Amino acid sequence: MSKRAVAKSTANIPGEFKDLFGPPALHKAEDEKIYNAILCDYVKDFGPLDTISRVLILDLAHYTYDIQWFRSLLPKLIREIHKRDLERRAQKLADEADGRIRDACITRDFAVKKTNPDADNVAAEAACKDKIEQIRKELRQKLEPLVKAEEGEIDEAALFQNWIPYCAAVQNQLGPLEVKFRATVRLLDGHQQGLGQRLRTIAEKTIDIEPGTSPSAEEADSI
């Protein structure tokens, strides 16, 4: 009596699944390599596969990919919030500098009108120009550490109130995915150990008898 695998997977597992179920729904096209690695590992862990097992493994691969994607999103979100905080601080400094420049221009105009409105007050213009240049120089000096800090260490505690809502949003996405993942693992395990296993056992058995003869009682019991 010989046995055979119900579903022998080809060497190109991703291609095989793509032919059956279409291309995977990925967040980024460059994630295909990661997704394919996940899929191949599951096929190796649970194979040989029947159709139901393939469907469940496809779900597992998608859930695993999405879970990892959302988990990797958390540090990126914190980094983005860190950058936004620096941008907000930089904009505040720039606004303050603009206000000082406007004040310098108002002072210049007042000085010109006070002396002789029709005269070209060179001294007032020069003083205003020097003042503006000084303000801009101070602004550049204040912005320099913020630019360096953009890719530097992040003070998560200082930004906690800003990033925790985004963290909660990610967790809200992760929770249902993890529940579905665990449920699918149980379904796959139950299928392979229960009805699926019995069906595979029956399908793998072949009766080695001559055509036109009936199996013996012992052979019939073994089917």
Pick the residue with more confidence: 155 or 191? 191
Do 206 and 4 touch, CB atoms closer than 8 A? Answer: yes
DSSP string, 15-49: HHHHHHH-S---SSGGGHHHHHHHHHHHHHHH-S-
Looking at the chain, list the stretches that DSSP marks H as alpha helix, in order from N- to C-terminal side.
Answer: 13-21, 32-46, 51-115, 122-149, 160-193, 195-204, 217-222
What is d(CA 94, CA 166) in angstroms, rounded to the nearest whole number?
28
Give the pLDDT band of residue 1 (cuts 50, 70, 90): very low
Question: For the chain, how many residues are written?
Answer: 223
Averaged over 188-194, what is the pLDDT?
Answer: 85
The model's pTM is: 0.63
pLDDT of residue 174: 93
6 occurs within a structural domain? no
Q: How many domains does the chain have?
A: 1
98 occurs within a structural domain? yes
7 occurs within a structural domain? no
Instruction: Compute the CA torsion angle 148, 150, 152, 154 (nearest 10 deg).
Output: 140
Averaged over 134-141, what is the pLDDT?
Answer: 92
3 occurs within a structural domain? no
Residue 31: domain span? 13-222
Is pLDDT at 206 greater than 70 in this prediction? Answer: no
Average pLDDT of the chain, as a whole number: 80
Is pLDDT at 223 greater than 50 in this prediction? Answer: no
4 occurs within a structural domain? no
Is pLDDT at 10 greater than 70 in this prediction? Answer: no
What is d(CA 137, CA 71) in angstroms, rounded to the nearest whole number?
42
93 occurs within a structural domain? yes
Do 7 and 48 touch, CB atoms closer than 8 A? Answer: yes
109 occurs within a structural domain? yes
Give the pLDDT band of residue 7 (cuts 50, 70, 90): very low
pLDDT of residue 48: 78
63 occurs within a structural domain? yes
